[in-house]
Chain A
C-alpha cells in the first residue's frame, strides 16, 4: 500500500451524521484522488486534486466534500446528504502532469452507516 495511509480502517456512523475520512501520503505527489468502491461497480471517482488548494468534482461528488490545505493530506467528508454512504473508500495519489504514471492506493476505509 506504499506511502499512503488511510484511517480508520473501519468506521461506523449513525445516519444523519457527517464523517471525515483521513488520507495522508508521504510520496511527495501533487495529485490525490478519492474513489468509492461498491460490489460489482468497480471504482467511481468522487473528487480529485492536482495541486494544493485546488480540487475538482469527479463522477459522484454529490453528498461529499474535500479540502486540500496541505500537499500530503486530502480528507474526505461524507455528509448527511449522501444517500447511500455505506461503501469502501479508497484514496490514491500520483505524480501530477504525467499521464504515464500510475496511481498509488491506500489500504481503504470501510464505512458503515446505520
Chain B
C-alpha cells in the first residue's frame, strides 16, 4: 500500500524568508510524486512533479522540490516566500503497481501562512 505523510499541519514564515513544506512517502514501486496548492474554496492546482532523473524539480510560481530516495522524502521549497503563497499545500504519490493503478494518494495537507 502507498501512503503520504505531511508532518506539519501549518507552517508559518515571514515574507521574504525561505519556505519549506515537508512530505514523506511510502510505496512498493517506483514513486511518482506531485505537489498541489489549494486556495480557499477552490480546486487544487498542480505545482510540480517528480518522475525520474534530476532530484531537484522546478515548478510553477518559483517553487521547487527535492526528491530524496534514501529518506523517502519530497519536500517543497521556495527561496523567498510571498504573502500570496499563503494556501493549503498537498503532496501526492502514485505508484506503478497493479492494485493501485490510476489512484493518487494525497497527504492531509499543510497550511502555509506567510506574514508581511
Binding site for B on A (CB under 8 A): 1, 4, 6, 31, 33, 35, 40-43, 45, 48, 50, 58, 88, 90, 92, 96, 99-100, 102-108, 110
Chain B positions 37-79 with a Cβ under 8 Å from a chain A Cβ: 41-46, 49, 51
Question: CB distance A100 to B106 under 8 Å?
Answer: no
Chain B interface SS verdict (over half) = loop
Contact of B43 among A41, A102, A105 (CB under 8 A): A105
**Is B22 interfacial (CB-CB < 8 Å)?**
no
A6-B43, A40-B108, A41-B108 known, 16 other contacts, Cβ within 8 Å: A40-B109, A42-B90, A42-B107, A58-B103, A90-B43, A92-B43, A92-B44, A99-B95, A99-B101, A100-B32, A100-B51, A102-B46, A102-B49, A104-B46, A105-B36, A105-B43
Considering the chains assembled together, what is the distance between the CA atoms of A96 and B44 in angstroms? 19
Nearest B-chain residue to A110, judged by Cβ: B41
Considering the chains assembled together, what is the distance between the CA atoms of A82 and B103 in angstroms? 22
Nearest first, the 8 closest Cβ-Cβ pairs linking A and B are A105-B43, A42-B108, A43-B106, A105-B44, A102-B46, A100-B51, A99-B94, A107-B43
Question: CB distance B90 to A43 under 8 Å?
Answer: yes
Considering the chains assembled together, what is the distance between the CA atoms of A48 and B34 in angstroms? 19
Considering the chains assembled together, what is the distance between the CA atoms of A64 and B100 in angstroms? 21
> Can you list 10 A-B contacts (CB < 8 A)?
A31-B102, A40-B109, A42-B106, A48-B103, A58-B103, A88-B41, A102-B46, A103-B44, A104-B46, A106-B43
**B interface residue count range (under 10 / 10 to 19 / 20 to 34 / 35 or more):** 20 to 34
Contact of A50 among B43, B44, B102 (CB under 8 A): B102
- Mark contacts of B94-116 with chain A using CB atoms, 8 A cut-off: 1 yes-contact digit, 0 otherwise: 11100001111011110000000
Q: Which residues of A contact B8 (CB under 8 A)?
A: none
Considering the chains assembled together, what is the distance between the CA atoms of A45 and B43 in angstroms? 15
Considering the chains assembled together, what is the distance between the CA atoms of A32 and B9 in angstroms? 28
